[in-house]
Chain A
């Protein structure tokens, strides 16, 4: 092809994925898919709180027992989340720059509110995740959680969750954040397929429905834990809070 273009093109697959608009879309979709996988798995893990203290503490101990593998998984997830967030911010800045003068009379034809607020829902969820890690994983906000043990001498994450969600403020912030995450996914899940080229007019509606179903299921799964604690359906082993 004798092209008149003298532009330098990316020379490797990583360069294609990080330097071009289409490549960045594909990478955003792939890292989004990994993040979605984690969000789903984490929900399934969380729901074990409802089964009982023994089940949940056993699950937590199993995860901790992974040792080095746990850190490999954490590193992989952190990398995927990091790339997803970095690309999201970068793309947003480029998109703002692409229309320096705004319309005086702007209208929206069919873009959903979720699709137009991805950067904001995303950034709020990031700030929540940072708090969530400081709260339950690193326990900077509540160092006393580390002293909780169950009758078998294991770290009592079940009681930690119950104590954590006994605060209406924390539960409310959690529900809001999870709600925004699911709203983010109501666009993200369908968008992911389009960005990877897996879409057609026939599938577009179905993907939209699938994305909303995924969002609703995830919200129900995540909301179940704090709601159960607040309704006292799940409580400390001694029964007192």
Chain B
């Protein structure tokens, strides 16, 4: 299949950037979206043009490195799919495809389609962990956890931290991400010990990074490749209120 690509090109963080048009020729429908870009890049290198820069790593849909806003939707319009797992058979021959970087003040563009998502790392460093003192490993069944709680924690922990929620949110809010991280711990006894400190620290860090506020559009939920539900945001709101009314 042949496609027309409108790709965001930006030399560096200071460059204004613009959409450039490229042709992708003889693309197999079995290719992933990133493989299609690899083919285009081969062609560009052959022509002496700087290849299109984009983030990628595992290409198995589990690492959260790939990004891209494809035709206005982070990771493309295919539900519950990362860009690396998006196949070209979902596009039509001759189609024009817009490819833009994740847009947020907190995710500045480094080059072309590559954005700096280290704001997420700093939120995790602020409270996205359980403090562990070294010592003997307890028996697996020493702390009973109800199945429902374990399920909710696992659902939240499915978040791969790709940032599609921020890219989709019309306010560039990071609350689905932070909600998932706060929830995955808040449902488990190990995480409950530090729940108040965690909610405060992670929300403070999120605010300081310049993300927008949640106004309950639920765009994040619609694009999340791991189908994280907005109930994690409701959970975070409860956790935060609890933290705000508790003396630490």
In the complex, what distance in Å separates the CA atom of A160 from the CA atom of B244?
48
B204 beta carbon closer than 8 Å to chain A: yes
Report the minimal beta-carbon distance from A101 to chain B, rounded to whole angstroms.
Answer: 6
In the complex, chain B residues whose CB is within 8 Å of the CB of A200: 231, 234
Within 8 A of B (CB), among A203-241: 204
Are B236 and A101 neighbours in the complex by a CB distance under 8 Å?
no
Known: A20-B203, A95-B212. A107 touches B238 (CB 8 A): no
Mask, A67-96, CB within 8 Å of B = 1, is: 000000000000000000000000100110
Q: Report, nearest first, the 6 A-B pairs whose CB atoms are least far apart.
A: A107-B72, A98-B212, A197-B238, A109-B222, A111-B217, A16-B244
Residues of A within 8 A of B (CB): 1-5, 7, 9-10, 13, 16-17, 20-26, 91, 94-95, 97-111, 115-116, 118, 187, 190-191, 194-201, 204
Within 8 A of A (CB), among B154-208: 168, 170-173, 175, 194, 197-198, 200-201, 203-208
Known: A9-B200, A109-B73. A17 touches B244 (CB 8 A): yes
9 A-B pairs (CB sep. < 8 Å):
A3-B197, A5-B126, A9-B204, A16-B244, A95-B172, A108-B219, A194-B233, A197-B236, A199-B231
Within 8 A of A (CB), among B102-148: 103-106, 122, 125-127, 131
Known: A1-B127, A9-B201, A20-B207. A110 touches B219 (CB 8 A): yes
Are B230 and A99 neighbours in the complex by a CB distance under 8 Å?
no
B19 beta carbon closer than 8 Å to chain A: yes
In the complex, chain A residues whose CB is within 8 Å of the CB of B32: none
Are B204 and A20 neighbours in the complex by a CB distance under 8 Å?
yes
In the complex, what distance in Å separates the CA atom of A111 from the CA atom of B212?
16
Report the minimal beta-carbon distance from B243 to chain A, rounded to whole angstroms.
Answer: 8
B22 beta carbon closer than 8 Å to chain A: no
Closest to B236 in A: A22
Report the minimal beta-carbon distance from B137 to chain A, rounded to whole angstroms.
Answer: 21
Known: A2-B131, A5-B127, A25-B213. A103 touches B100 (CB 8 A): yes
Q: Which of B8, B104, B229, B241 has the most CB of A within 10 A?
A: B241
Are A3 and B73 neighbours in the complex by a CB distance under 8 Å?
no
**Interface of A: prevailing SS:** loop
In the complex, chain B residues whose CB is within 8 Å of the CB of A111: 170, 217-219
In the complex, chain A residues whose CB is within 8 Å of the CB of B126: 3-5, 7
Closest to B202 in A: A5
In the complex, what distance in Å separates the CA atom of A131 from the CA atom of B201?
44
Q: Which of A21, A105, A187 interacts with B100 by CB under 8 Å?
A: A105
Are A107 and B71 neighbours in the complex by a CB distance under 8 Å?
yes
Report the minimal beta-carbon distance from A81 to chain B, rounded to whole angstroms.
Answer: 19
Known: A109-B222, A118-B215, A201-B229. A1 touches B170 (CB 8 A): no
In the complex, what distance in Å separates the CA atom of A100 from the CA atom of B107?
11
In the complex, what distance in Å separates the CA atom of A204 from the CA atom of B175?
17
Closest to A191 in B: B216
Are B73 and A91 neighbours in the complex by a CB distance under 8 Å?
no
In the complex, chain B residues whose CB is within 8 Å of the CB of A97: 105, 210, 212
Instruction: Beyond A109-B219, A110-B222, list 8 extra A-B contacts (CB 8 Å).
Output: A3-B125, A3-B197, A13-B245, A20-B207, A98-B105, A103-B72, A103-B100, A195-B214
Are A195 and B237 neighbours in the complex by a CB distance under 8 Å?
yes
In the complex, what distance in Å separates the CA atom of A232 from the CA atom of B99?
60
Are B203 and A22 neighbours in the complex by a CB distance under 8 Å?
yes
Are A197 and B235 neighbours in the complex by a CB distance under 8 Å?
yes
Are B170 and A116 neighbours in the complex by a CB distance under 8 Å?
yes
In the complex, chain A residues whose CB is within 8 Å of the CB of B223: 109
In the complex, what distance in Å separates the CA atom of A83 from the CA atom of B132?
42
In the complex, chain B residues whose CB is within 8 Å of the CB of A105: 6, 69, 71-72, 98, 100
In the complex, what distance in Å separates the CA atom of A79 from the CA atom of B197?
31
Are B204 and A100 neighbours in the complex by a CB distance under 8 Å?
no
In the complex, chain A residues whose CB is within 8 Å of the CB of B210: 97-98
Report the minimal beta-carbon distance from A9 to chain B, rounded to whole angstroms.
Answer: 5
Closest to A118 in B: B215
B211 beta carbon closer than 8 Å to chain A: yes
B33 beta carbon closer than 8 Å to chain A: no
Closest to A6 in B: B126
In the complex, chain B residues whose CB is within 8 Å of the CB of A196: 237
